Amino acid sequence: MIKKLLVLIVLCMPMMAMGADANKKKSEEPVVHLTDEQIYQELKKLAMVFEIARENFVEEADEKKMLEGAMAGMLGALDPHSSYLPAEDFKEFNEKSHGEFGGLGIQVTSDRGAVRVIAPIDDTPAARAGIQAGDYVTHVDGDQVFDLTLNQVVKKMKGRPGTKVKLTIISDGQEPRDVTLKRAIIKVKSVKYEAKGDDEKIGYVRISEFGATTSKEIKEALTALEKKGVIGYVLDVRNNPGGYLTAAIDVADAFLDSGEIVSTRGKNKADIDRVYAKSGDMTNGKPVVVLINHGSASASEIVAGALQDNGRGLVMGSQSFGKGSVQQQKPLGDGTAIHITIARYYTPSGHSIQNEGITPDVEVLHSKVEVLEKKKSMYSEASFKNSLKNDMSKKNKDKAKKKDDDDAPAELSDAEKDALDYQLQRGMDMVRAMAKMASKKSTESVDDTAPDKSKALAEKKDVKNKDVKNKDDKSKDVKNKDEKSKDVKKK
């Protein structure tokens, strides 16, 4: 089986490389605009191809399938995110957008003829199977996907909850592997939150995707965490493939008191739509660290870019995905629809995310802590010749054996998972440091005003004393005058 899959990789990789070259050439070629007459001739040719294919194909032709394929191909020629949605796909998309759908919990995109994973959704069959952002899906139930559209591949992965599907996955630098997943109803609660840390509470907010309920959920989360008295926030949008633009705007707005959030620019470069934050930071200016990685795409990048460019949050992690385009859904009136890319979006500083992504302020790659010191050293008292033996050695060994038996591998607790999450730990450390710096700065500000207050009080006291002295001097003058007047009378 491995040998067969290795042969497949050899065959597939040149295809992908050729696709990359084709895309590069395509982007360098100037756009050719046709006249109305030329467009009419091309449409006549399309109709001619349809008629010839329908009449001459060896089997009974499915006209609807042929026409839908033509529309899908037309939109797919524009970019990877524009597509035609048949009635069934359009219905499933709407169900998914409202927080519950059937499938594997995996967000995918078309990448040079292959199907690439943008990110798995938290707590879904795909996430539990270890599928990661950047993986490629080459086969679904043994059928290769290179000659299928993205919608066709997604449809093959979906199915009745409880049924199984086998995916062949290629991860970077690894041999292909088969993963069997059980389909399930995917219930997406897009925002999870808790106060982490032992002594100082840190508000941890995880957003798995930007859906229809995200705006409401983020407000509930921040309100609850503020009541717990957290010192700062870690906003985790790692492996978040994006979602609604409006949800991303609302999330960024919750952390901002003012400033631009995002701008979108369509075909007409002069037509720029800017969105600004409303007054009212729900976190009261507390430190914010945003965690991103190469699975953070689209709406996630809008939030990270908005907080980064406004100086409101520190972005940590690795370079994000780089999807900086806006899609709009346009229903066609018969239960079908199209997704069409209508604009690019830009961060407040004018940076285009497309194909570049968000660069973190502090790069923290996904890592693990490795124990460098051995449990038992080769050099110790026990290594000396004729060293005295431990008379309790047998009992200690029995105790150690019992402890090893008791410590058999078990499912990790949430705290243990957090401890192994290197990026999260560094993010929490950064929030603690930022909170301490803010506290120190506030204290120094109060101390700086103290001498000014003392000086003002001293000056006020001096003025008062001078007034009293002047009054006394005046009294003396009056007394002297009276005495002089008496002397004159006597004379």
**pLDDT (tens digit, 9 = 90+) per residue, 35-71?**
999 999 999 999 999 999 999 999 999 999 999 999 9
Q: Which range, 1-5, 301-305, 328-332, is most confident?
A: 301-305
pLDDT of 122 strictly over 90: no
- Annotated catalytic residue, options 82, 83, 110, 298: 298
What is the C-alpha to C-alpha distance for residues 195 and 477, in angstroms, rounded to an integer? 75
Tokens linked to 460: 């006020």
* pLDDT band, residue 185 (cuts 50/70/90): confident
Q: Any residues with CB less than 8 A from the CB of 49 and at least 6 apart, and which? A: none
Residue 172 has a pLDDT of: 84
Residue 367 has a pLDDT of: 82
Which is higher by pLDDT, 477 or 81? 81
Which is higher by pLDDT, 101 or 438? 438
* pLDDT band, residue 149 (cuts 50/70/90): confident
pLDDT of 491 strictly over 50: no
Q: Any residues with CB less than 8 A from the CB of 130 and at least 6 apart, and which? A: 179
What is the C-alpha to C-alpha distance for residues 156 and 270, in angstroms, rounded to an integer? 42
CA 374 to chain centre: 38
pLDDT of 468 strictly over 60: no
Residue 148 has a pLDDT of: 83
Which is higher by pLDDT, 401 or 83? 83
Q: Any residues with CB less than 8 A from the CB of 303 and at least 6 apart, and which? A: 235, 237, 248, 251, 252, 290
Residue 383 has a pLDDT of: 60
Residue 490 has a pLDDT of: 47
Facing residues of 338 across strands?
84, 330
Mean pLDDT of the chain: 81
Average pLDDT over residues 326-349: 93
Q: Give the Å distances, CA to CA, from 429 to 199, 229, 433, 435.
A: 13, 18, 6, 10
Please give the share of the chain, as a percent, with pLDDT higher than 70: 74
Residue 471 has a pLDDT of: 53
Average pLDDT over residues 400-407: 56
**pLDDT (tens digit, 9 = 90+) per residue, 69-117?**
999 999 989 998 899 999 888 887 776 666 566 789 888 888 777 899 9
DSSP per residue, 377-438: -SSSGGGSTTPPPPTTHHHHHHHHHHHHHHT---PPPHHHHHHH-HHHHHHHHHHHHHHHHH
29-38, 215-224, 253-262: range with lowest mean pLDDT? 29-38
Q: Which range, 100-114, 351-365, 431-445, is most confident?
A: 351-365
Residue 27 has a pLDDT of: 52
- Annotated catalytic residue, options 89, 323, 325, 421: 323
Contact by Cβ (8 Å): 204, 234 = yes
pTM here is 0.70
What is the C-alpha to C-alpha distance for residues 435 and 447, in angstroms, rounded to an integer? 19
Tokens linked to 203: 């508000």
* For helices 36-56 and 63-76, angle between their N-to-C axes, nearest 10 degrees: 140
Residue 110 has a pLDDT of: 80
pLDDT of 475 strictly over 80: no
Which is higher by pLDDT, 196 or 394? 196
* For helices 245-255 and 214-227, angle between their N-to-C axes, nearest 10 degrees: 20
- Annotated catalytic residue, options 122, 236, 309, 421: 309
Residue 451 has a pLDDT of: 53
CA atoms lying within 13 Å on the CB side of residue 111: 18
pLDDT of 4 strictly over 50: no
Closest CA to 352 of 442, 284, 263, 459: 263
Residue 109 has a pLDDT of: 84
Residue 181 has a pLDDT of: 94
DSSP 8-state symbol, 277: P
Contact by Cβ (8 Å): 157, 140 = yes
DSSP per residue, 451-474: HHHHHHHHHHHHHHHHHHHHHHHH
Q: Is 171 a catalytic site residue?
A: no
Residue 454 has a pLDDT of: 47
DSSP per residue, 344-360: EEE-TT--B-TTT-PPP
What is the C-alpha to C-alpha distance for residues 53 and 387, in angstroms, rounded to an integer? 91
Closest CA to 191 of 134, 129, 262, 254: 254
Neighbours of 171 (CB within 10 A): 15
Q: Is 418 a catalytic site residue?
A: no
Average pLDDT over residues 218-224: 97
Residues in the chain, overall count? 491
Q: Which domains does the chain have, with CATH numbers?
A: 2-29+100-187 (2.30.42.10), 191-363 (3.90.226.10)
Closest CA to 242 of 119, 387, 397, 363: 119
Q: Is 214 left (phi over 0), alpha (psi -120 to 50) or beta?
A: alpha
Tokens linked to 113: 């003829």
Facing residues of 52 across strands?
none
**pLDDT (tens digit, 9 = 90+) per residue, 250-300?**
999 999 999 999 999 998 878 899 999 999 999 999 999 999 999 999 999
pLDDT of 211 strictly over 80: yes
Residue 398 has a pLDDT of: 65
What is the C-alpha to C-alpha distance for residues 421 and 435, in angstroms, rounded to an integer? 21
Dihedrals φ, ψ of 237, to 5°?
Answer: -120, 25
Q: Is 346 left (phi over 0), alpha (psi -120 to 50) or beta?
A: beta
Tokens linked to 455: 């000086």
**Can you say whether the dihedral through the CA atoms of 380, 382, 386, 387 is positive or negative?**
positive
Q: Is 401 a catalytic site residue?
A: no
Tokens linked to 33: 């605009």
Residue 141 has a pLDDT of: 93
Neighbours of 382 (CB within 10 A): 13
**pLDDT (tens digit, 9 = 90+) per residue, 373-397?**
555 555 566 666 666 766 666 666 5
